[in-house]
A and B are shown apart, each in its own frame.
Chain A
Amino acid sequence: MRRVSLALCSLVAVLTLPAYAADAPRAPGAASAHAGGSAAPAPSAHPPAELPLVAEVLILHATNEQKGIDPRIGKLPELGKPPFSNYDSYQVLDRVRLPLKKDAPQNLKLPNGRTLQVRLLDELGPDSVRLSASINRPSGKEFLPLLEVKAHVGQAFIVAGQSHKKGILVLVIRVVK
């Protein structure tokens, strides 16, 4: 009798505890705890804190130097399609995260000396934004005066074609949180 009770209690505990565990990642502090590794979870009564939107810029150098594709690029099937497939080598030159804040344009110096400017224009929803990008020469003269893009979190767009050291620059810009 006692063994049966113990077994049933254990069964109840096993079935119940995962339910609480499954709730835990929905806690507001869970994401920061995951990122920081030491933050304590916030009380569940508070609404979840919005993570800041970020434009992640991956700067690639495309050449035909038969070096292959840098494994740090990860999965980017677009590189296997024309016109990107015209280059056999892709190297990561830089990976930068630019925080997206309204009225606070972010500048990034490119390897060719030009400057990429990214600006958040609108937050269309919790995971959707409208942003602008432009590229200026070192003198301040515009190379790409204006590009306006609407994107969801996780989606990317590519700006490519600028000449750089026997190849071209490929800028993969992705909205992340």
Chain B
Amino acid sequence: MSISREQLMRYHDGELSEAEARRVESALDQDPALLEELEAYSELGSFVRVWDQSNASKLASFDISDSVLSAIEPRRARVHSLLPRIATWVSLSAAIAAGSVLVVRSWSAAPLPPPCSVSAERAEQARHDGTASPSASAPELSVAAVLEAVALDGAVARDPSPPPPATIESVDFGSNAGEVFVLSTDTSETPVVWMPDDGDPDEDNEDRSE
């Protein structure tokens, strides 16, 4: 007759039926090893009960959150140590972005005329065109005006042509002889009024003879 370990443990715990219990008892009578095993179960059960009684207060106050927190504490510490680095990188990136915006703005955009001058010029133009409105003279700053000013500045910057040369609008030689001509050089065109002396002496008797 063979008795399994499970049956022996259930017998020890008093969970077997009477027929099964009798069968286990007859096996115990015949097999001393099985009896020793049963005694071992009894000793183990006593030990567990004693341990259970002595640690009951500890088990009652056991809090799993402490264990979890103590387990993850090193990771929290790592996260804390990463924060300053992340902050440094974020601020550094912001500084680079701001600096880039400033550089691009200062290198690419021509200086804007004062907003008031833009609107004043527009108002003046409107007055000349006869389209001045009551609000035309009031200083105003619109996006269109600023964009127009930027476009004009860009056009001026792209146009390398120099302003027209000085021009002589009128000349009166009086009773003297003279001529007007333009001297062209590689870099300029200069109007010249050539007016030699008429030979009449000035009244201060200064010698102007060649």
Which residues in A have some Cβ–Cβ distance to B below 8 Å?
A: 1, 5, 8-9, 11-13, 15-16, 18-20, 22-23, 26, 47, 77-78, 81, 83-84, 112-114, 127-128, 130, 137-139, 141-152, 155-168, 175
CB-CB < 8 A to A18: which residues of B?
A: 103, 106
Q: What residues of chain A lie closer than 8 Å to B54, measured between beta carbons?
A: none
User: Does B99 lie within 8 Å of A163, measured CB to CB?
Assistant: no
| Total residues of chain B contacting the partner, CB 8 A | 52
Q: Are A26 and B111 in contact, with the CB atoms below 8 A?
A: yes
Provide the bound-state CA to CA distance between A1 and B87, in Å.
Answer: 13
Pairs across A and B, CB under 8 Å, 16 listed: A15-B100, A22-B107, A78-B192, A112-B206, A112-B208, A127-B163, A137-B203, A147-B170, A148-B170, A149-B169, A152-B163, A157-B168, A157-B191, A159-B193, A163-B209, A165-B207
Nearest CB in chain B to that of A130: its residue? B169
* Contact (A163, B197) CB under 8 Å given A9-B95, A47-B116: yes
Contact A160 B192 (CB under 8 A): yes
From residue B195, how far is it (CB to closest CB) to chain A in Å?
Answer: 4
Chain B residues packing against A (C-beta within 8 Å) = 85, 88, 92, 95-96, 98-100, 102-103, 105-107, 111, 114, 116-117, 163-174, 176, 178, 183, 185-188, 190-197, 202-204, 206-210
User: Is A148's CB under 8 angstroms from B171's CB?
Assistant: yes
Chain A residues closer than 8 Å to B105, beta-carbon distance = 19
Q: With A23-B106, A163-B210, A167-B210 given, is the CB distance from A147 to B202 under 8 Å?
A: no
A77 near B187 with CB under 8 A, answer: yes
**Is the beta-carbon distance between A16 and B208 smaller than 8 angstroms?**
no
Q: Which of A1, A139, A162, A175 contacts B197 (CB 8 A)?
A: A162
- Does A77 contact B192, Cβ atoms closer than 8 Å? no
Expressed in whole angstroms, the Cα–Cα distance for A116 and B176 within the complex equals 16
